Every structure is written in structure tokens, then in C-alpha cells.
Structure 1
């Protein structure tokens, strides 16, 4: 490919040739060079480092794959191993967002209901009170408090039966990825009845020679204590946390020597229906409604709706999911889309992801996807950079996915943010230990829009990690930092090379 001549330089040279016969200076050697003077833009294009040099500088063991194309016509501009299948990590959430938008619709709401299975007589429900989940991944303690207040406002003070909870709108799963450490908050349970992203807030503060410990269902306005998740302090150094399934409870222990003076963290809840039931009972009691300990209902009981809570529209939920990369949200909306598409509650995340893979083939025209969940947390998912780029282009053209993606700041060689950079990037990041991805759209100053996908993974190194090492493995942070620097270098390269020359 010829490089170094802009369209303007070429046109200027052509005009000179047209007039050359009339100029006496052409009869002898010119005093100065007739080569067009290169503009700064031409120089910047010539000095851009090759992609291979950027990859070599990143020193990432494993595989690197990328593809970039012009959005308007789909012309592929540059690739490197574009057909290697790698784990997408949380980049998969962009596909899940498209799946949910297409199947459920942007205005879809998840509805949580309180049902009375019998009439209300003198303030007493003649039957059970049922908290029925609708798959809302964003339900929190504040929402349960509002539902309890509405039940009280309906004149209810008690029940002849009991409090039931139902989460059967989606499958009930103890976690997203079984290979993750037990205590990481980004691997919560999944259910049709979720609360506080299925996490419990563990806080400890030094009190004399010991610690004061709380386990709470915290939200913006409420922080009720919970009993279904319990913490015991043990005199040991390692492991820091252990988990035991104690029937109706989540039993945790923590190494006393790891606590320091105080701190807090979110721990995953393994029994979301039990968790929501206990918190709802607490909120009911605060509003003068007396009920017994909640029990799980295997099927949705029939009855009259006393109160309901609507989530925000799906489009807002997806925007927040893509910004904060919440795994529970991705799994819940993906599962809900599969239920709507098939009419059946899937038995597993893998079964639901298989439906999404099929949707991508039929709706987006992209084959070869092999995702095993909707969040990207499972490292057995596979997709190539070319396929991911093709999916994003189709989602941009048909479903308007781009505004839901978050702004990615452009950074310099030292990875400092460049304020007011003329190049704008909207994309989804993805990070696992020794896995890094970035895919989305680049807006160039001249109006050109690019679509791209970048994946890097050292799968053998990741596979060698024990379950305990997956929280913070040696070398993991450095590897992922170098991967992000590579992504920025490629974006800078493409933003220079593929901006159109001015006329």
C-alpha cells in the first residue's frame, strides 16, 4: 500500500503536471525538491508503530486477537489472529444487553408482587402472604420496605397462614461460576427473587480486645440485621474465609488475624429466597404486620395482589449493568429473555446461554459463539474478535446498543487520562485473571465511526490457578495492566490511521 500522500498532496502534484509544459523551469533540474510537503497528519500516520510492535511491547504471554472495521460499510481495516476463540469476560454483557433488548424490549419492567391467598377479614389475611419475585436483579431492601408499607396501608395486620416466598420465575442457582472462591461478591446466587444483588454486608470494628460484627441487608435507607447469614471469627491466619451450607443458613468464618482495626465487604448470599423472606418479614414487622418465619413456595400460589413494585425500564437497567458490570444483572436479564423466547425456565445458565448463542446466529447473522453464561464470569465461554466485532456492528445498526455502553477515556503512554481528547470511545471492558477484553465503537474527529474488539488471554496460566488463588493471583494485576495499555495503544493507532484525509 502506498503511504505518505494525502488526497490534497496528490491533487496538487497532478495540477503541476498539467501546467508543466508551460513552465521554463521544467527544462532544467529544479533548485528545490518538487515532492509535496507532507502535512502533520501524514507524518503522524507514517510514525504510528505497527500493531505487532505494540503487542510485543505489552509482553503478554498467551494469545492476542483483535479486529477493527469501518462501521458504515463493514470494511475490515486491520486484524491480528481475528479468528482465535478466547474468553470474552464481561465483554459478553454487551451481547446479553442486545439479547434482552431484542427479546424483552427496552420498556420491559420486572415486577415483584405481594399476594394474599385469601380475603382480608378484620385486617387478617385468611391464608398466606406471598412475596413473589419477578426476576428483578435490582430489588433492594428499600423496595421491600415500600412493599411492606403498602401492605400495611391496605389494612393488613396479620395472617392466618404464613409468609411464603417464591422465586420460580427464574432458576434458583447457588452461584454463577463454581470455579470462583466462595467469598467473592461478584459470584452471587441467582433466582427469580433477588435482593441487594444477592449480597450481605459484613462489617467488623475493633471493640476492646475483640470485634463487633454485623451482617446486614444494607440499602440506601435501611440496614436490617440478618440471621440467615452468620459470621464466626476464628483464630487462624489462612484461609481468610470459609463457607458452609447449613441448611437454611449461610455459615461463614473469617480469620481473626486478617481483620486489622476494622473494615467491611459484601459477601455473596447462597439462599436468595430465604434472605429476601427474612428481610421482608423484618420490614413487615416495622409496619405493624405480624407474620411467621418465611417459607419457600415450590409453585406460585394463586391470590389477589396487595402490592407490587416495578423495576426501572430495562434500558436503564442495562445501561447501569454495562457501566458497573454487575454479574447478577446480566444473568437475570439473560435468563428472563430465554424464558420469554422459549416459554420455559431453563435448567442452567449454560442452557440459557445456548439459547442466546442461537439468537445471535439467527438475529445477528454471526455464528461460532460458544458462551456458557450471560455475564462472562465463566472462563469456558469462547468468542473470536471477528465474531464480537460483527455482533456489535449488527447491534449498533439494529438495536442502538451504542448509547448504553460507557465512555472509555483515551489515555497517554503513561496511562494517564487525556482530557478533552477529540477521539471518543464507547465500549465494554472485560477482566478475569489473565484475561482482558475491550470491544465497542470509536468516533473519530472527522465523523468516521469504527467498530472493534480486542481480546487477550493466557489460558494455561489461568488454568493453573487453584480456586483459592483466583481472588488475587501473583502477577494478575500486572498482566491485566499491560493488556489495558495495549488496548489504548491500538485505539490510538486506529484513530490516526483511519481518519479520512481532508480534501
Structure 2
């Protein structure tokens, strides 16, 4: 059989054409999805409510919005509201702001005796802890003071009488996240109930409180069990006579480790001042008068001691790491005190926060601020508002670095680091999470893999049926896509791209 040269050429051309077609089909069939397609795919999850899901992503390197879905739909923020409070607090107070809790006295000091009252004046300090009170008591003792003839007074004049955000439910749990607020607060307004198994099976648990004011007593109904699993329950019971019982039930296994259960307190001012009385006694100072809580200190009171809190930059870091509702609401009232005056109200504080957003150029269309922590279901924010805030704060050299570092580095070694721990973007995401029933939110910053691009993102998943893990998976897919595929986009905005004619 013979094939002519022309036939060979024809076949060659056919095979070349066929190969090109195959190559085209192959490239089309196996091309990797674009960044936009990857995000679109993540948002096809059946558990999402499409109308109640919002995404907005902005390239900080170019200023362009690179992805947007329902960006101006008002939705519940949950705890990402704390980023709004964080930014406003930094703007009004500054990173170096410190609370100053003061000790005042009336009357005069004669030898080792104060012939007058000792006053603890609340500053709204969200970080005042029992060791601070113990240190103040020791300082008084070191000055030679042994006796206080008058009363021990708590001055709570700085804040109004609301011990919660007005939009919160009246019925509250005893869990730490539900702690009340106040001008004079201690240990995040929680008491630590320490539990240790007894030496023998059947022995009651060893229980102690820190701090341990006299009006609180332990009602120990617990036992030590044989080795194995055990569960101890702790609850606070406030009686009609003004006493408080800390009731401990259940059991812990013999030889098990110590446990600490935090229970919030019903009256923060009383808890703080009675704890201070206890520490004064332990330091060797006797207070002969009664305890009193007032809204104004006597005019003749003069300062004895002053305790300074850590700087605001460290307070907001702790607030956002632990997602402390208590700290966020304290900050709202602190803003009100500093900008409007006392007594601080939530309304005045939130008005200042709203003014900060508007004067900073942040979109507030459809936005409603009901508290500082995100616990209220009357809050309404948008994904565009949050990315506007992130972009604006990134560009503020005076407070932007403190704002960014207040967010957890997700997946890095350290506290609360399981999120993104095993993902490509681990240790690169700075973000704040938010969770309520049916609500999952995530807002923050992530770079591209090479670091050439930096993105601000806000993801709001409202009315979702995904559950905690399912919602996290959707959000993680989007953030990981920004990290892995973020370099697909040009480093100049569309308005800066060269135009050819």
C-alpha cells in the first residue's frame, strides 16, 4: 500500500488540527476555577439563606471591591459588633488610655487611725481584678493604717443605673458572657468557684471562692466519686436577706484535676466593695463602719491612692480574643463619659459611635446600633459598612495598628487557635468571629499567599441552617480562596489600567 506525499501532508494537517481541538477541550475541561467562581461555589451551600447572606471583599492594595453579594442588606452582626466598638474606643480614647480607680478619704488621719470614711471610686475599669484590690489594701497597710472609724463607701456615680444594655433581655443567665456592667466592677463581675476532689471517695469536694466577700457562702452538696467521669454543677442563689449562696452539686472523681467555674454576680458594686473590705481585713485593717454604695462622693473627700489599668490597646486585645460582652459595654459607657459626661448612658455612647462612623466616611445606610457587643438582636449592620470600617482603620496610622492587632491571628499557636489551624491560611488571618442562634459572621483581614495583596472581608450568614461547623466551613472556604487565589487579581485598580485605542 502506498500513500502519496500529499496524503501524508493532509493527514499531518488533520492530526495537527485534531490535537489543537483536543488541547482546547482539555484546557477548558480542567481549568481551575477563578477566585470569583470559588467564592460563588462556597455560597451554593444549601444550608444558607440566600437573601440573608452577605459578602463584601475589598482589596486594600488597589481599593477595589473584588466581590460583593447583598453588601447593603442590614443583618445581625453578632460579636463582630465588637470591632465597631473597638474602632470607636481607639478613636475617642486613644491606644494609651488608662482607667483610674481612686481611693478617697474624708476626715483626718491620726496615727494608725482614719477618723472618717474610705471611698472606692469606680472608673468603669473593665480590667479591675481582685489582686488590684489586694495591692491597694497592702499599700494602705504599709502607710501605717490599722483602723478606719467611718464607713467603707463605693462611689458608682460615673455610670447610670442600667446594669446591662437597654436592648438586652431582662432575664439573664448566670454565665460569664452574661455578666452585668457597672462603674465599679471586679473580675469581669464574676466570682471564681474553685473545685477540688476530696481525699477519699464520699468526701465532699474542697471548694473555695476567689474573692470571698463575707456575704457569699458556699453550700456544698457535692461528693468525691470513684475514678471515672464526674460532673459538678454550680449555681448562685440570692436570698431575700441579701446573702448569696454558691450551691455546688454533683461530683468529681477522686484524684481528678482542680476545676474553676465562673458564675456572674447580681450586684457588681456590692461585690466589689465587700471584696475590698475582705482584703482590707486580710491586710490587717479594721473597718468599724458599715458598707455603703453612693452616687456622689462627699465634697471634702481627698485622694489617697490611684490604681491605673493596663492601656486600652491591651484591653481591646483581651476583649476581642475572649469576645467579652462585658468589656464591650463598659467601653460604650466609657466613651459616653469622656465625650458627654457623667452619668454615662448607653444612648450617649452609641450616639458617639454612630457619629464616628459617619464622619469617617463609613456607609451607615440601614445600620442600627443597639449595643456595643453584638448580643442584642436589634443590631443591624451591613457587609459594606464593615469593610468600609476595615479599610478606613487600615489607613489610620495613629490607631490602625492597634485595631488590627486586637484581632486574633487565627490558626496560630496560642489561645483560641483551632479555627484555620489546619487550613492553608493558618496563622495569616486576623479576624473576629460572631455567633448567635442561626447567625455566623466573620470579618477581618487576609493576605494573598505571596503577600502581594491584602484583603478586607466581611461575611454575614444570617438565618442559616448550617450549624456552627457548617457555617465555619463556608466562611473558611472563602477566606482560604482569598489566600490561595488572591494573586489572580491585578495590583492596580481598573481606573489605573492602561487604555489602548
Q: TM-score normalized by structure 1?
A: 0.78
Is 2:371 the counterpart of 1:373?
yes
Aligned residue for 2:359?
362
- 1:149 deviation in Å? 0.9
Query: Do the aligned partners of 1:350 and 1:373 also contact (CA within 8 Å) in 2?
Result: no
Is 2:422 the counterpart of 1:418?
yes
Aligned residue for 2:277?
281
Structure 1 residues 36, 449: closer, same or farther in 2, change over 3 A?
farther
User: Hey, what's the Cα distance between the residues in 2 that align with 1:280 and 1:182?
Assistant: 26
User: Hey, what's the Cα distance between the residues in 1 that align with 2:170 and 2:374?
Assistant: 13
Q: TM-score normalized by structure 2?
A: 0.78
Is 2:39 the counterpart of 1:51?
yes
Aligned residue for 1:165?
154
Query: Do the aligned partners of 1:138 and 1:311 also contact (CA within 8 Å) in 2?
Result: yes
User: How large is the RMSD of aligned CA atoms in angstroms?
Assistant: 3.5
- 1:425 deviation in Å? 1.4
Pick aligned residue for 1:146 from 119, 135, 140: 135
User: Hey, what's the Cα distance between the residues in 1 that align with 2:36 and 2:363?
Assistant: 32
Query: Do the aligned partners of 2:236 and 2:244 also contact (CA within 8 Å) in 1?
Result: no
Structure 2 counterpart SS, 1:265: strand
User: Hey, what's the Cα distance between the residues in 2 that align with 1:116 and 1:287?
Assistant: 18
Query: Do the aligned partners of 2:174 and 2:265 also contact (CA within 8 Å) in 1?
Result: no
Aligned residue for 1:182?
173
Query: Do the aligned partners of 1:370 and 1:382 also contact (CA within 8 Å) in 2?
Result: yes
Query: Do the aligned partners of 1:67 and 1:386 also contact (CA within 8 Å) in 2?
Result: yes
Aligned residue for 2:74?
85
- 1:120 deviation in Å? 0.9
Aligned residue for 2:5?
none
Pick aligned residue for 1:330 from 319, 328, 331: 328
Is 2:469 the counterpart of 1:457?
no
Aligned residue for 1:440?
444
Aligned residue for 1:6?
none
- 1:121 deviation in Å? 0.9
Is 2:432 the counterpart of 1:431?
no
Aligned residue for 1:14?
none
- 1:94 deviation in Å? 1.0
Is 2:315 the counterpart of 1:317?
yes
Q: 1:40-60 CA deviation, whole Å, 9 max, x = no partner? A: xx9544487543432333624
The aligned length equals 444
List alignment gaps of at least 5 residues for structure 1.
1-27, 218-223, 462-477
Structure 1 counterpart SS, 2:487: coil
User: Hey, what's the Cα distance between the residues in 2 that align with 1:65 and 1:99?
Assistant: 23
> Where in structure 2 are the equivalents of 1:44-443 lying within 5 Å?
44-46=32-34, 49-57=37-45, 59-60=47-48, 63-176=52-165, 177-178=168-169, 181-204=172-195, 209=202, 211-212=204-205, 214=207, 216-217=209-210, 224-230=211-217, 232=219, 241=235, 243-244=237-238, 246=240, 248-251=242-245, 256=249, 261=253, 263-292=259-288, 293-302=290-299, 303-347=301-345, 349-367=346-364, 368-398=366-396, 399-400=399-400, 401-409=403-411, 417-418=421-422, 421=425, 424-443=428-447
User: Hey, what's the Cα distance between the residues in 2 that align with 1:142 and 1:120?
Assistant: 25
- 1:68 deviation in Å? 0.5
